[in-house]
Amino acid sequence: MDHDRQSLDDEVECAHCGELVSPRFGTCYALGDHAFLCFECSVQRGGRLHAGLGWMVRPDTTGLAAPASSRGESSPA
């Protein structure tokens, strides 16, 4: 029936701002297999996207793409 519809199932959260983005449009920067930066965050970090050619200048991803593992930081109660 509608098996070929443009579903939004592939939306992922931006690793910086948490905005939902869809990698299939090619406007977000892939940090890894499961981490993405949205277009706005990528540009703010110095990335330059060329239509059809992808990211000509990679955004600064310092501090991003960190695995979502719980750190052992001790917070004062």
Q: Which is nearer to Zn ion, 38 or 49 (CB)?
A: 38
The sign of the dihedral angle between the CA atoms of 47, 17, 69, 8 is: negative
Q: Least separation, in Å, of the C-beta of 27 and Zn ion?
A: 11
Helix (H, G, I), strand (E, B) or coil at 55: strand
Q: Which is nearer to Zn ion, 7 or 20 (CB)?
A: 20
Q: Least separation, in Å, of the C-beta of 28 and Zn ion?
A: 8
Name the residues that contact Zn ion, by CB under 5 A.
14, 16-17, 19, 38, 41
Pairing of the two strands 29-30 and 36-37: antiparallel
